[in-house]
Structure 1
Amino acid sequence: KTKWAQLEAVVGSQKRLAIVARDIVEHFEKRLEAMDGKAMVVCMSRRICVELHREIVKLRPDWESGDDEQGAIKVVMTGSASDPSDWQPHIRNKPRREALANRFRNPDDPLRMVLVRDMWLTGFNVPPLHTMYLDKPMRGHGLMQAIARVNRVFRDKPGGLVVDYLGLAQELKQALATYTENGGTGRTALDQEEAVTVMREKYEVCCGLFGSYTTPEAVVEGFDRALWTTGTPQERLGLLPAAQEHILAQENGKDRCVRAVRELSQAFALAVPHEETLRIRDDVAFFQAVQAVLAKRAPDDARSERELDHAVRRIIARAVAPEGVTDIFAAAGLEKPDLSILSDEFLAEMRDMPQRNLAVELLQKLLKGEIKTRRRKNVVQARSFAEMLEQTLRRYQSRAIEAAQIIEELIGLAKEMREADRRGERLGLSDDEVAFYDALEANDSAVAVLGDETLRDIARELVQAVRNNLTIDWPLRENVRAQLRVIVKRILRKHGYPPDKQEKATQTVLEQAELSIRADV
């Protein structure tokens, strides 16, 4: 105990804590530039937790808040009324500590850093935690348990980082040896220099993608990204369309770029704040910005955009400057489009874009988003347009048609979609009725035998029948489905729908009915 007290006095000296606090703040802010996440500082004693917290808050006063529901930094510890008065704001009962734990677990909560002595070092799972600052002697199982806090799988987190202030390398090696001897498997630790080596390799791959390449026609010059670091915000954003075009013109360029930049970003996050990361960080930001727009899904995709948040923030950080807010559409050389992606004006701009491969990429994303929207309303129409789009893209990917030709075909498909929205007016049907009409019209022989007027009557009757018989849980209730199937077949027979096509028509109508009830919920 005497030796521990002596070491605690040295480790907890005010001058040393001020140095450690500055190092933690600077290091963690650089970590956040590379990857969102949270940090845990492990201290020798409650006294050091309180005093190191005080030093950090001196440097970043906006991190602190007396409210448990606010603030970016907290001390987590137990105590009693007999503890010093300056400790009391950090002493909480179990419900208050659990509330802090929930904040820390939440990746979107602004609580980014906690200081602990013993609490939360075992059995506490926080996937967003990616950095641990160790300022406490530890060994064996306890050390392995503590390090395990930062190695939880989370999104694209490549691994956790442990910053050692007391020279625990030997204890870590012994703990890892014990872990392996007791059946542990896998690579548990990676030296930062190894991460830097991997980062350099991935960086060269990304640079190569933006370098020169050869096509059957000519040698394409490398892409000049100098303006990314020297240009105005508008000039920087203006690089992105041409950069995408450079990638998309290469064979499998999009997939190769997205994968290479993802791997570089993971290695970069592990290597920060090594001096090599500072040298290449502007290039990495450029690669991430291009990857973000290439990887972005169709407008109606349900996928969370969190994976792109980091790159988007990097773009915004460069776009917001003393010159004012930059119009991203203008920077990309496009007029701000009509809110409808299928407006004549916007399609004309797509046709005139100098970056032909980028125009193809944008159009297919927009059309896929539009098809996904229709899939929730009209199953037959969405299926038809999806097949048309797939056939067109397959011909383009096999190089059977050039970019200019596919642009015209995609624009034609966009106009067909827009025209399909007006069919209800021409037929005198509501959107729901048009959807059932399309389900019936998919059978060419039915159209020939019955004609439009009869099909419209059947569609109206089907909509009414579906509304009268559907309940929210009908897809899970076989008796309701069976009853509706009987009603649909009865309506089809009544109007003389071709008998050999009734079963398929019934299946399509039931599929459309399920979409209708989901849209109404």
Structure 2
Amino acid sequence: MLIAYDIADHFQNFKHQGLKGQLACDSKASAIRYKEALDKIGTVTSVVAMSAPDTREGHEAVDQESKDIVQNWWKANVNKMDEKAYTKAIIEDFGRDDGPDIMIVVDKLLTGFDEPKNTVLYIDKPLKEHNLIQAIARVNRLHNKKQFGYLIDYRGILKELDTTIEKYQDLAERTQGGFDIDDLKGLYNRMDTEYKKLPGLHSDLWAIFEGVKTNKMAQRFAKR
């Protein structure tokens, strides 16, 4: 998977800081395939958070291959272990500095799960409204090694975030103790506008080194 390669490469920004990430998938079979792809790449470690397989996997129609993938993975990795014990074990492993880098999730542990070192959420599933807000909250917990939480959107769903926040603001105004929508400004930035700032930021960076003697190769690089 090209996305798996992109995730493995991008996560190197966080790996050596001892920080963590989550990858949200749209099915258990997809989560397992991501796990296999990341293991093959070999630059990040991962663990899959999922509930015991059922016959339909939450879809109206599930092909037999996907069923077999999930059933076989569960037997090979969990087998007779109690599902609650399995979940507890992977949470404890994920929280260790030397534990898995990325937790791959479908629905389980995508909401209501707090790990302060969790810094980046890779999204490859449809999310909207309260599910989107709760998923984003997984990476906004404070930790001394991180400045921000990061969202990497492979589904183009973050365009829904403005609408979602406005809906929550309307709800807050109808209930006691609502929040000000202005408090959320700067919470996230759209990639299609942020990239336009790069030329100016590049110029500002080189201005810091103005007057510093450089060799000819460095000067040629600066003009690119």
Could you say whether these structures have the same fold, taking a TM-score greater than 0.5 normalized by the shorter chain as the test? yes
TM-score (norm 1): 0.33
Return the alpha-carbon distance in structure 1 between the equivalents of residues 136 and 108 of structure 2. 14
Secondary structure in structure 1 of the residue aligned to 2:121 = strand
More helix by share: 1
Pairing of 1:188-337 with structure 2 (within 5 A): 188-192=187-191, 193-194=193-194, 197=197, 200-201=200-201, 204=204, 207-211=206-210, 222-224=211-213
Deviation per CA, 1:411-447, whole angstroms, max 9, x where unpaired? xxxxxxxxxxxxxxxxxxxxxxxxxxxxxxxxxxxxx
Matched residue, 1:55: 37
Matched residue, 2:5: 22
1:86 to 73, 88, 96: 73
Asked if 2 retains the 8 angstrom alpha-carbon contact of 1:50 and 1:87, the reply is no
Deviation per CA, 1:244-264, whole angstroms, max 9, x where unpaired? xxxxxxxxxxxxxxxxxxxxx
Return the alpha-carbon distance in structure 1 between the equivalents of residues 196 and 164 of structure 2. 24
Secondary structure in structure 2 of the residue aligned to 1:95 = helix
Matched residue, 2:20: 38
Return the alpha-carbon distance in structure 2 between the equivalents of residues 164 and 209 of structure 1. 33
Secondary structure in structure 2 of the residue aligned to 1:97 = helix
Check 1:198–1:49 CA distance in 2 against 1; reply closer, same or farther (3 A cut). Answer: same
Say yes or no: does 1:186 pair with 2:175.
no
Check 1:56–1:33 CA distance in 2 against 1; reply closer, same or farther (3 A cut). Answer: closer
More strand by share: 2
Check 1:169–1:209 CA distance in 2 against 1; reply closer, same or farther (3 A cut). Answer: closer
Root mean square deviation, CA, Å: 3.4
Work out which structure has the larger RCO, using CA pairs closer than 8 Å and 6 or more positions apart in sequence. 2
Matched residue, 1:143: 132
Greater Rg by CA: 1
Structure 1 counterpart of 2:9, one-letter code:
E
Matched residue, 2:66: none
Structure 2 counterpart of 1:25, one-letter code:
A
Unaligned stretches of 5+ residues in structure 2: 56-69, 173-177
Return the alpha-carbon distance in structure 2 between the equivalents of residues 33 and 95 of structure 1. 27
Pairing of 1:155-166 with structure 2 (within 5 A): 155-166=144-155
Asked if 2 retains the 8 angstrom alpha-carbon contact of 1:37 and 1:128, the reply is yes
Check 1:33–1:41 CA distance in 2 against 1; reply closer, same or farther (3 A cut). Answer: closer
Return the alpha-carbon distance in structure 1 between the equivalents of residues 20 and 199 of structure 2. 22
Deviation per CA, 1:493-521, whole angstroms, max 9, x where unpaired? xxxxxxxxxxxxxxxxxxxxxxxxxxxxx
Check 1:73–1:201 CA distance in 2 against 1; reply closer, same or farther (3 A cut). Answer: same
Say yes or no: does 1:121 pair with 2:110.
yes
Return the alpha-carbon distance in structure 2 between the equivalents of residues 103 and 163 of structure 1. 24
2:85 to 87, 95, 100: 95
Asked if 2 retains the 8 angstrom alpha-carbon contact of 1:126 and 1:152, the reply is yes
Asked if 1 retains the 8 angstrom alpha-carbon contact of 2:53 and 2:71, the reply is no
Alpha-carbon distance, 1:89 to partner: 3.6
Alpha-carbon distance, 1:90 to partner: 4.2
Check 1:223–1:42 CA distance in 2 against 1; reply closer, same or farther (3 A cut). Answer: same
Alpha-carbon distance, 1:157 to partner: 2.2
Matched residue, 2:61: none
What is the aligned-residue identity percentage? 26
Structure 2 counterpart of 1:28, one-letter code:
F
Q: How many residues align?
A: 193
